[in-house]
Structure 1
Amino acid sequence: MRDFSQDHEWLSLNTATIRKQLGAEVPLDRIIDQCAALGIRAISPWRDQVHAVGIERIAKQLRAHGMGLSGYCRGGFFPAPDAAGLKAALEDNRRAIDEAKTLDAPCVVLVVGALPGALDGKAHYKDIARARGEVRDGIAASLEYAREVGMPLAIEPLHPMQAAERACINTLEQALDLCDALDPERSGMLGVALDLYHVWWDPKLEQQIARAGRERLLAYHVCDWLTPTRDLLNDRGMMGDGVVELRKIRGWVEAAGFGGFSEVEIFSALDWWQRPGEETLATCIERHRSVV
């Protein structure tokens, strides 16, 4: 297993971690400068942040800093109540793929979606099997275009608590079953984004990480699970503050062939978003060295 104790060469920052600082929204160009000042050499930005500044400007800034991406957030949300909605989702995913290509991302992370309308409190239907079928069809269609342009897609399984409104793919096993069905040749164009917040509890995790192997492990996200958790979406913990066996799981991931970035992704409305970005980043670096 790689030794992270002496540097943070393999630390990436998902920009959600400091997109809010002292309670205020921070533009992506400022976040990039903050990361560059601390020697963080990779980020994973969110599409709305990129759009707010301008993709060409962000691409130029990344090149100027010699900074790369560990992923691009996000595509997905395939299910819809009607044909027009399904078509719109595919078109949006094509745009996400094009944006990722412009930014030279290694993959587009897919939060696949679930019951359409549930995020707004009114699901258009309750048939989760239908949603999973629409996810499969949406990924299959998007994969065709992704192959054309050479942009891998990474399915991110989300914790079952988010099965209704954000993702109806909830275990690594489910995600890999989809990968095997749609990409049986293990081409490297379809894999998974493994976010420990969502999968740490899974009794099959070690087995399924080994099953994924190097070809399927496209992104690796770290944070911690707090006890008690005060908000199931926006109360992720800083690494080392919770109950996740971070180093053990990284051992499994690296034994399976993954050698990329550990991407810190922390949604923390009650804690880390209430602090200066420099403080949060400094803590990310220290914890990356000491506990990840």
Structure 2
Amino acid sequence: FDINVYDSSVALCKLLYYVSYTFTKLPPTALILASIDRLLLSSQNVNIRLYSSKRLAYFSLSITTAFWVVFYIHTLIEVNIVQLYPSVFICYYASSGFYPEFMTVFSLVVNISFSVTLVILSLMAFKNARQLRSVPRQQRHQFRTMNKKDFQLLRCLYALDIVYISLTLFAAISNVYQASTQGEIHTPLRSAIENFLGGIAAFSYHIPFCISFFVFLFVSKAFRQETKHIMYKMCGKDQMGMHEQGNVQLHDRRDNKDLNIVINVVSTV
């Protein structure tokens, strides 16, 4: 019947927008905090490396989460069920006035700030990693506390940063274009093209929130092995037993091959 519950319930309407806005800011915030942690850990300064700790990470994540939870309380006030046409109601905020302009500008500034921050942190961490690798092997124990897993995680963060920046940048450009051409008269063809590109931009904006697993699976060999181990465990199969069974079969084939060679030699003699 094309009936949306949140278009008929004010409480669900407000809660939907509040949760959506809040949770869309948490993943990029966590990504920035993780990049900062890798930057601190990759530093050659011992005093700076001390700030890379679980306690500081939990504290920073709690503070930033509380900030976004409190900041978006205004959506519970402004968002409501709005009548577009007779008998047509949608869950949205007022399409005119200060609030929609504020939300558009704020979202644009935040997304660009996130992207620029990730670029800066990635470049600085990459610079630190190159400096660590350039240190002679005999002196590395004096500077580095990063192990192989730390470098793999740093590589995964690079990939996540690239994915987030490239996909959200397209959405930011689309928002700028829509805001700058809002007062212009559009032809039906132009409106159709803009709606199509706007849909692609909205789709691309939500991709980084669900692609972390696939990025780790593609970039990290250790993550692939651990995932494979978990899948075998969930299916009730012993991965080590399967490897041992495969090795036994391989040895049997080799023994049979050697036996056939001996038989052929004896027959020839």
How high is the TM-score relative to the length of structure 1? Answer: 0.20
| More strand per residue | 1
* Structure with bigger gyration radius: 2
TM-score (norm 2): 0.21
Higher relative contact order (CA 8 A, sep 6+): 1
- Which of the pair is proportionally richer in helix? 2
